[in-house]
């Protein structure tokens, strides 16, 4: 099965919630001890404080910083909340007759004030899901805020979320095989793929794939730990010996290996679709290589003009899945044929902008402005 490889992430580590010094009911009074390396802001206001504004909800991460920069440039009014700090320093208010309001200092902002939401998954959600070392008090504290986040989603269900409502994002929302079927329906080529725990069927498909294939994860690409982020990398196999244990854990995702193909990362937002090549600098071999396991300084990224057919298919993909933007992984063969691999909800695009030079944040900010003022 795919092997996790360790990859340090300063941004994730800064939001890492550790053990409280005191496991007591007065948790918020001792909240600083729960967050290791906590930094960044609690909330930010745009220069334009119009009554119709955007709620920027989530974390203090590089993607959020880029979008906020362009929202200011486009004069879009917003309130930004860094949930990884907000849950320790601020509060909400709600009654049986009054919908939820967010308390920012002396200001009380009802949810009805917001016309759209830009959402990034906060770090505390990863900790709640994956950290088995939490005390019961810590778990209960974070669980309450998870429930409040779901309540905000339900109460703002009628407005547009960028890229989508939280329940449509994250590992639990990934649909790798279904996405392959949809992309094929939209006119894109896809690698042959199968998901099953039947070893005999897997052996037959491996033979059909030409004697080698990739074992891939089904949506849980990364696991956040105290040591950093562990990325689950696909494994190239030529036989299925030793796969019995993986099959016992559940169905295995086996996919045809497209040889000698160029990795392509695409970002689609509204009617805009951007793409760029990703190459590993000085690879050690010509066998399968996963660029996600390499540091950014070992990667070369170049903008790429995508064919009209590919751009159209990715735009249609967003509409069918109900997303405002998303990232896509494709392959381009030496003969110019494009293969759809997967869509990431929402996916990482910071490097697509900073290294490859694609105007992703401006496209997102422009779509947000259109949503608020149209």
Contact present, 364 and 314 (Cβ < 8 Å): no
Domain for residue 158, yes or no? yes
Domain for residue 5, yes or no? no
pLDDT at 224: 62
Residue (of 186, 191, 193, 187) closest to 218 by Cα position: 193
Q: Is the pLDDT of residue 70 over 50?
A: yes
pLDDT at 194: 95
User: Are both 119 and 183 inside the same structural domain?
Assistant: no
Domain for residue 4, yes or no? no
Q: Average pLDDT, stretch 46-56?
A: 84
Q: Is the bond preceding residue 346 a cis peptide, omega within 30 degrees?
A: yes
On the 0-12 / 13-18 / 19+ scale of CB atoms within 10 A, 354 is: middle
Residues in the chain: 374
Please, which pLDDT band fits residue 28 given cuts at 50, 70 and 90?
A: very low
Alpha carbon distance 287, 175 (integer Å): 27
Please, which pLDDT band fits residue 20 given cuts at 50, 70 and 90?
A: very low
pTM of the model: 0.87
Q: Is the pLDDT of residue 93 over 70?
A: yes
pLDDT at 120: 95
Q: What percent of the chain has pLDDT over 70?
A: 84
Q: In the listed set 200, 229, 257, which residue is the last one of a domain according to the structure? A: 257
Residue 110, token pair as written in the block: 């009802």
Q: In the listed set 223, 257, 291, which residue is the last one of a domain according to the structure? A: 257
Alpha carbon distance 291, 332 (integer Å): 15
Domain for residue 321, yes or no? yes
pLDDT top residue among 181 and 250: 181
User: Are both 231 and 211 inside the same structural domain?
Assistant: yes
CA-CA-CA-CA dihedral for 301, 303, 305, 311, to nearest 10:
80
Q: What percent of the chain has pLDDT over 90?
A: 63
Q: Is the pLDDT of residue 118 over 50?
A: yes
pLDDT digit string (tens) for 182-228? 999 999 999 999 999 999 999 999 999 999 999 988 776 666 666 66
User: Are both 152 and 273 inside the same structural domain?
Assistant: no
Domain for residue 273, yes or no? yes
Alpha carbon distance 44, 53 (integer Å): 13
Please, which pLDDT band fits residue 290 given cuts at 50, 70 and 90?
A: confident
CATH code of residue 283: 3.30.470.20
User: Are both 30 and 123 inside the same structural domain?
Assistant: yes
Residue (of 264, 268, 361, 360) closest to 312 by Cα position: 268
Print the domain residue range for 233: 192-257
Alpha carbon distance 104, 305 (integer Å): 44
Q: Average pLDDT, stretch 32-50?
A: 70
User: Are both 101 and 208 inside the same structural domain?
Assistant: no
User: Are both 302 and 325 inside the same structural domain?
Assistant: yes
The overall average pLDDT reported for the chain is 86
User: Are both 233 and 297 inside the same structural domain?
Assistant: no
Domain for residue 8, yes or no? no
Domain for residue 373, yes or no? no
Q: Is the pLDDT of residue 25 over 80?
A: no
Domain count, the chain: 3
User: Are both 356 and 265 inside the same structural domain?
Assistant: yes
User: Are both 44 and 149 inside the same structural domain?
Assistant: yes
Please, which pLDDT band fits residue 39 given cuts at 50, 70 and 90?
A: low
Q: Average pLDDT, stretch 63-83?
A: 96
Task: Show the CA angle centred on residue 142, arms to residues 162 and 17, nearest 5°.
Answer: 95
User: Are both 294 and 184 inside the same structural domain?
Assistant: yes
Q: How many CB atoms lie within 10 A of CB 24?
A: 11
Cα atoms in the 13 Å half-sphere on the side-chain side of 175: 11
For residue 243, give every residue at least 6 positions away whose Cβ sits within 8 Å of its Cβ, in sequence order, or none: 1, 199, 202, 215, 237, 252
User: Are both 267 and 209 inside the same structural domain?
Assistant: no
User: Are both 34 and 131 inside the same structural domain?
Assistant: yes
Please, which pLDDT band fits residue 49 given cuts at 50, 70 and 90?
A: confident
Domain for residue 371, yes or no? no
Q: In the listed set 213, 237, 257, which residue is the last one of a domain according to the structure? A: 257
- Helix, strand or coil for residue 313? helix
- Helix, strand or coil for residue 233? strand
pLDDT top residue among 19 and 60: 60
Between strands 78-82 and 43-45, the pairing is: antiparallel
């Amino acid at each position: 099965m795919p092997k996790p490889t360790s990859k340090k992430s300063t941004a994730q580590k800064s939001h890492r919630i550790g053990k409280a010094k005191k496991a007591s009911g007065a948790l918020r009074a001792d909240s600083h001890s729960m967050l290791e390396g906590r930094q960044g802001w609690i909330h930010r206001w745009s220069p334009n404080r119009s009554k119709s504004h955007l709620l920027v909800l989530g974390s203090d991460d590089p993607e959020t910083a880029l979008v906020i920069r362009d929202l200011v440039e486009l004069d879009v009014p917003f309130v930004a909340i860094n949930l990884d700090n907000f849950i320790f320093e601020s509060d909400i208010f709600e009654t049986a007759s009054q919908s939820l309001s967010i308390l920012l200092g002396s200001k009380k902002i009802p949810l009805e004030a917001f016309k759209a939401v830009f959402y990034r998954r906060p770090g505390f959600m990863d900790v709640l899901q994956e950290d088995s070392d939490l005390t019961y008090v810590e778990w209960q504290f974070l669980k309450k805020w998870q429930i409040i986040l779901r309540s905000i989603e339900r109460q703002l269900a009628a407005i547009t979320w960028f890229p989508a409502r939280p329940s449509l994002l994250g590992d639990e929302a990934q649909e790798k095989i279904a996405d392959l079927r949809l992309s094929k329906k939209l006119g894109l080529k896809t690698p042959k793929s199968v998901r099953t725990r039947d070893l005999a069927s897997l052996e037959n498909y491996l033979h059909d794939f030409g004697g080698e294939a990739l074992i891939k994860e089904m949506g849980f690409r990364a696991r956040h730990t105290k040591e950093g982020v562990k990325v689950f990398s696909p494994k190239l196999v030529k036989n299925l010996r030793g796969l019995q244990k993986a099959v016992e854990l559940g169905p295995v995702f086996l996919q045809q290996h497209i040889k000698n193909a160029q990795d392509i990362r695409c970002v689609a937002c509204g009617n805009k679709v951007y793409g760029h090549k990703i190459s590993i600098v000085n690879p050690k071999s010509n066998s399968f290589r996963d660029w996600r396991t390499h540091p950014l300084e070992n990667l070369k990224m170049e903008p790429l003009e995508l064919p009209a057919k590919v751009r159209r298919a990715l735009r249609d993909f967003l509409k069918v899945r109900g997303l405002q933007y998303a990232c896509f992984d494709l392959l381009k063969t030496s003969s110019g044929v494009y293969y759809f691999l997967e869509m990431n909800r929402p996916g990482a695009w910071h490097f697509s902008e900073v290294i490859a030079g694609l105007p992703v944040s401006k496209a997102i900010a422009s779509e947000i402005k259109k949503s608020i003022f149209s």
